[in-house]
Amino acid sequence: MSATLIERRIAALREQMQFQSIAASVWLSADPHLSEYLPERWQLRAWLSGFTGSAGSLIVTLDAAAVWTDSRYWEQAQAQLSGTGIVLMCAGKQGVPEPADWLRRQLPVGGRVALDGRMVAMQAWEQWQEGEPELEWVVDSDLISPIWADRPADPQQAVYEHVAPYACRTRAENLQSLREQMQRHTADWHLVSALDDIAFLLNLRGSDVSYNPVFLSFLLVSQQHAYLFIDLDKVSSQIKARLLADGIELYAYTDLSAFLQALPAGLSMLLDPARTTVHVARQLQHLKLVEQLNPSQLMKACKTPAELQQVRAVMEQDGAALCEFFAWLDNHLGQGEISELTVDEYLTAARARRPGFVSPSFGTIAAYQANGAMPHYQATVDAHSRLEGNGLLLIDSGGQYLGGTTDITRMIAVGHLSEQEKSDCTVVLQGMIAMSLATFPSGVSGAHLDVLARQPLWRLGLDYGHGTGHGVGYFMNVHEGPQSLSWRARVTPNAVLRVGMITSNEPGLYRPGKWGIRIENLLACVPGPQTEFGEFLQFETLTLCPIDTRCIDASLLALHEREWLNQYHAQVRQRLQPLLDGKALDWLIERTAPI
C-alpha cells in the first residue's frame, strides 16, 4: 500500500472521529474471536496503517498516530510505515512507552477513546482502563464502516468433519470431559469463543482463516445442551444431522446476543477472560461469571498417545517432502533463476504430493541473506530476493495434515559461508540441542526452561527477541497455548508443561542488514525418570529433517552436542529412507552423514 493511500485513510478516520466526538481510537490485531490470524474483514489495523505483521496495535489521535509491535516486525514495520506519518513504537525496547501510557499522555482527563468492544478481550480491557488520568472509553462506536466502503464480507467456506482414524477422540467424549470441568467450577453454562477450541471440541474443521482449519462460530454448553452459533449455510444437512444426534443444536451466528440475554438471571457462566470479548461479556451482566481458562485449552494441548502416533507418521511424510524439496534446491542452485518465491512454490508443491496434506500451516518464510534478519519476513512479487552469490537461506515453513500440524525451520548454505555465519549458526544449534536434551521435574513451565536455549548465546553477549517455543495444535492452529518456552511468559499453573504437549524449539540470532538464523524442531513432552525426588519429564523430538552441517562449525560443538546431532541424523535417515528414492534419497544419505 502506498503512503499516500494510508494518509488518506487516516485522514478519513480522523474526520469520522471528529464527527463522533472521539479524541483517539485504538486498533488491535483481533476479531470477535480474538484470533491471531484474521479473516480479511477484521484486518482493520493493517488496512488503516499499511503494516501487515500479525501482531501490533495502532493508536490514532486527531494529530498523532503510532504503531506498536515487537522485535520480530521492527524492520518490516519501519519500511511499511515510511512516509505515512505513523510513528513506529518498538515495543519492549527500553524507553518506549506502553500504548496505554502514551495514550494518556496525549489526551486530557475525560478524553473520549474508541476501542471496539468486539476486538478486545475482557482481560486486556481491564489493563487499558488502568491508571490516571481517567479517560472516557467508548466500546460501541463504529468508525470503520463509513470509511471502508468495500470491506470484505465474512468468509463463507463450508465446514467439514475431522473423522477417524485422524480424529482420535469423539465429540461425545470431548463434551463429557468439558462438562466434568464445568462441574468442578460449579458452572451452569460455558461459552466458547475461541475458534480452535470449538473446532477441537466438535471434531469439525473449516477454512475461514488462512492456514488455520477453523470456522467462525460460538459454542454454548450446559450439562444437558450444546448450541453452535454459525452461518447455517456452511453446514451440510448430513453434518447438521450428525451434530443433532450428538446433542448439538445449530443457530445462526447472529443469534448469539439475543440467546445469551434470554438466559435465566443468576445462573453461572464459565468463560475465559483472555478469550472472550467485552462485547460478549456485556450480554452476560445478568449472570454470575466464572472466569477461568477455557478447559478445552488444556484438553487439546495434551495430545493423546493415539494423536502423537498420528503426528509421528505425519512427521515422516513432511520430512520426506522436505528432502525432495531440498534435493531439488541443491541440484538447481546456480542452474537458473531461483528466488524466495520459488522456494515457497516448490516446497508447498512437495508437501501437497504427500498423503493427508491439507494446506500450509502458515505463510512460508523464505528469507535470504539480510531478509532473514526479519523473523517474520514475507517475500512478495514486488519485493523478494534471488538466491545468488553467497549467503544463508532461512526457511520457516509448515503443513496442515489430517494427522497433525508441522512447523520447521532450517538454514541452508548458498555458496560459501563466512566463519561468522557458521559460528552464529552453530551457537543457535547449541541452544536448540540444549532444549532438546532437557529433563525437568513435573510442574516446571516453559518460562523456567527458556534459559537453556539462550545460555549458549548469552555467554557470547547475544540474544533474540522472540520466545523460544510455542504450543502447536493437532491439525489445528500452528500457535496454541497455554504453554510456551519464553522467560517473558507469565508463570501460572495452567502454563506448566504436561505430557502430550507439542511445543516448538526455535532459538534464533538476527543481525540486521546481514543475516538471520533460526533452527526449529517440534518437541513432544513425554514421561521421564521417576525417582525418590519425584516425577520428571523430558522431550521427544518429533521433526524429521536433516540439519545442514555445511552451516555448522563442528569444531565449536561439545562432544555431547556432536553425539546428539549424529544420533538425530541417524534417526532421520532410518525413518525417512523408506519414503524416498532417487536424488531425494541420495540427498538424505549425504546430509545425514555423521560428523
134 and 278 part of one domain: no
284 and 221 part of one domain: yes
284 and 310 part of one domain: no
239 in any annotated domain: yes
503 in any annotated domain: yes
62 in any annotated domain: yes
133 preceded by cis ω (within 30°)? yes
Using alpha carbons, list the distances in angstroms from residue 394 to 241, 298, 344, 377.
47, 32, 12, 10
442 in any annotated domain: yes
**CA 415 from centre of chain:** 32
C-alpha closest to that of 232 among 265, 260, 254, 210:
254
290 and 319 part of one domain: no
Helix, strand and coil in the chain, % to nearest 5:
40, 25, 40
**Enclosing domain of residue 316:** 302-591
| HSE-CB for 359 with a 13 A CA cutoff | 17
DSSP 169: S
For 523, other C-beta atoms within 10 Å of its C-beta total 24
Q: What is the CATH number of the domain that holds 351?
A: 3.90.230.10
The pairing of beta strand 515-518 with beta strand 508-511: antiparallel
Residues 6+ apart with CB under 8 A from 244: 250
153 in any annotated domain: no
The pairing of beta strand 112-115 with beta strand 136-138: parallel
Last residue of a domain, one of 105, 138, 171: 138
423 in any annotated domain: yes
pLDDT of residue 131: 62
277 and 312 part of one domain: no
pLDDT of residue 383: 86
| Rounded-to-integer distance, Cα 312 and Cα 550, Å | 27
Helix (H, G, I), strand (E, B) or coil at 405: strand
Pull the grid cell for residue 437: 536434551
172 and 107 part of one domain: no
461 and 423 part of one domain: yes
Last residue of a domain, one of 243, 277, 295: 295
415 and 529 part of one domain: yes
174 and 277 part of one domain: yes
Judge contact between 146 and 114, C-beta under 8 A.
Answer: no
pLDDT of residue 94: 87
Last residue of a domain, one of 249, 272, 295: 295
pLDDT of residue 133: 61
10 and 121 part of one domain: yes
Residues 6+ apart with CB under 8 A from 582: none
For the chain, what is the domain count? 3
229 and 93 part of one domain: no
Beta bridge partners of 414: 391
152 in any annotated domain: no
The pairing of beta strand 136-138 with beta strand 521-531: unpaired
| Rounded-to-integer distance, Cα 366 and Cα 350, Å | 15
Q: What is the pLDDT along the chain (595 residues), one digit of tens a residue?
A: 789 999 999 999 999 999 999 999 999 999 999 998 888 999 999 999 999 988 899 999 999 999 999 888 888 888 899 999 999 999 888 899 999 889 888 898 888 999 999 999 999 988 888 765 688 899 998 999 999 999 999 998 999 999 999 999 999 999 999 999 999 999 999 999 999 999 999 999 999 998 999 999 999 999 999 999 999 999 999 999 999 999 999 999 999 999 999 999 999 999 999 999 999 999 999 999 999 999 999 999 999 999 999 999 999 999 999 999 999 999 999 887 899 999 999 999 999 999 999 999 999 999 999 999 988 888 888 889 999 999 999 999 999 999 999 999 999 999 999 999 999 999 999 999 999 999 999 999 999 999 999 999 999 999 998 999 999 999 999 999 899 999 988 888 889 999 999 999 999 999 999 999 999 999 999 999 999 999 999 999 999 999 999 999 999 999 999 999 999 999 999 999 999 999 999 999 999 999 9
- Residue keyed to cell 522472540: 466
Pull the grid cell for residue 435: 532444549
The counts of H helices and E strands in the chain are 17, 28
The whole-model pTM stands at 0.92
291 and 306 part of one domain: no
